[in-house]
Amino acid sequence: MSQTLETRDFSVVSRRPLTDDIMEFTLVPTSDEPPLPFTPGAHVTIRTPSGAMRRYSLINDGAAPENYVIAVKREPASRGGSESMHASASEGMVLQLTAPENEFELVEAPRHLLIAGGIGITPIYAMARQLAGQGKPFELIYCTRSAAETAYLDEITALPGKVTIHHDEGDEDNFFDFWDHFEKPSQAHVYCCGPAPLMEEIKALSGHWPEGRLHFEDFKPVEVVRADDRAFNVTLAGSGRSIAVPADKTILEALRDAGERTVSSCESGTCGTCKSRLIEGEADHRDMVLMDDEKDSHIMICISRAKSGDLVIEL
C-alpha cells in the first residue's frame, strides 16, 4: 500500500440524540496530549466500529479544543459506517481518528451567506457560531424536511443575525426559493453543504457569479457499487488466500470481513491510501487518483473492481 494512515485514539465520552436519525458524539483523546486545533469547515476521518473509514465535520470551537464534537446521521443505505456509529459507538468506546483537515475553509469576506440542507448543517453551524462570536454579518438558510428532523434547531434559531429555517414537509413543490439571493451577484461568499438537489440548485442559480465566491461541501454518498456489478474473487499474492468479493461489496469491504488487515481513509477513490499492487487481472478503475501509466499495475481497492475474471493483488 502507498502509505500508513496515522491515527490517534479517542474515547466516546457522551452521545446525545439530536433527532431520531442524528446522534451527536463527543470524543476526547485517551492520552494527555490535547486535540489538535481546527477551523470551521474542518473534518476528521474516523474508523467506525464496523471498520469503515468515514469523514465527519467538527462542530465545536476549534481554537483550543478539549474534545471533538461530531454529529452522525444514520443513512438508510448505510454500508456499515453510520449504522455502526449509532448501534455500537457507546460511551467508553475507543475510536481511531485522523488529524483534522479542512477543504471547506471559511474565508474573510464583507458578508457570508450560509446554506445547509439536512445533515449538511454540521460544518455550517460551526461557521455561523464563529461569525456570530466575531460580530460579523451573515445570513443562514437551513432547509430540512420537518422540525422533528432538524438538528440543533433551538441553538440555530437563537443565533444573532438573519436565520431562516425552512421545512418542505417532503413536498418537492415546497422547495425553498433561493433566486432573490442569487439574482444579482454580491460581495458575499456563499457556503453550501447538503444533499445533491440542494447543491445542484445553488450551482445553477450562481452560474453568473464571480469565480471563487461559491464554496461547496458535498455530503452525497459515493456510489461504490453499482446495480450491474458482479461477484469475483481476489487472491492475495503474499498468502495465496482467495477471497470472494460479492456483487454488493467492495474489495476493501470483502477483505475487512475476511479478517485481512487493510488501510484506508476516504473509501471513495480520492485519497490514495488504499492503493495496492495489481499482479494479475483486468481492473475496472473507478478512482480519481491513479495516473494512466499506473493502471496496469495498481488498483484502489476501496472503489475499483474486476472488469472481467478475477484479480490477484498485493496488499
Q: Which pLDDT tens digits describe the chain residue by residue (315 residues)? A: 444 568 999 999 999 999 999 999 999 999 999 999 999 999 999 999 988 888 999 999 999 999 999 999 998 766 678 999 999 999 999 999 999 999 999 999 999 999 999 999 999 999 999 999 999 999 999 999 999 999 999 999 999 989 999 999 989 889 999 999 999 999 999 999 999 899 999 999 999 999 999 999 975 556 788 889 999 999 999 999 999 999 998 999 899 889 998 888 888 888 889 999 999 999 999 998 999 999 999 999 999 999 999 999 999
Nearest to 18 by CA among 63, 68, 59: 59
Provide the pLDDT for residue 3.
45
Provide the pLDDT for residue 202.
96
Q: What is the rounded distance in angstroms from the CA atom of residue 151 to the CA atom of residue 147?
A: 9
Provide the pLDDT for residue 81.
84
Report the length, in residues, of the chain: 315
Q: What is the pLDDT of residues 106-156, one digit of tens each?
A: 999 999 999 999 999 999 999 999 999 999 999 999 999 999 999 999 999
Provide the pLDDT for residue 78.
62
Per the rule left: phi > 0, alpha: psi between -120 and 50, beta: everything else, 183 is: alpha
Could you name the CATH architecture of 8-97?
Beta Barrel (2.40)
| Backbone angles phi and psi of 11, in degrees to 5 | -105, 140
| Backbone angles phi and psi of 260, in degrees to 5 | -80, 140
Domain-wise residue ranges, the chain: 8-97, 112-218, 232-314
Q: Which CATH superfamily is domain 232-314 in?
A: Beta-grasp domain (3.10.20.30)
Q: What is the rounded distance in angstroms from the CA atom of residue 300 to the CA atom of residue 224?
A: 11
Nearest to 202 by CA among 179, 184, 225: 179
Provide the pLDDT for residue 221.
58
| Assigned CATH class of 112-218 | alpha beta
Nearest to 253 by CA among 289, 229, 217: 229
Nearest to 228 by CA among 299, 311, 309, 307: 307
Q: What is the pTM of this model?
A: 0.83
Average pLDDT over the chain, rounded to an integer: 93
Whole-Å CA distances, 214 to 57, 191, 246: 19, 6, 40
Provide the pLDDT for residue 268.
84
Q: What is the rounded distance in angstroms from the CA atom of residue 93 to the CA atom of residue 239?
A: 33
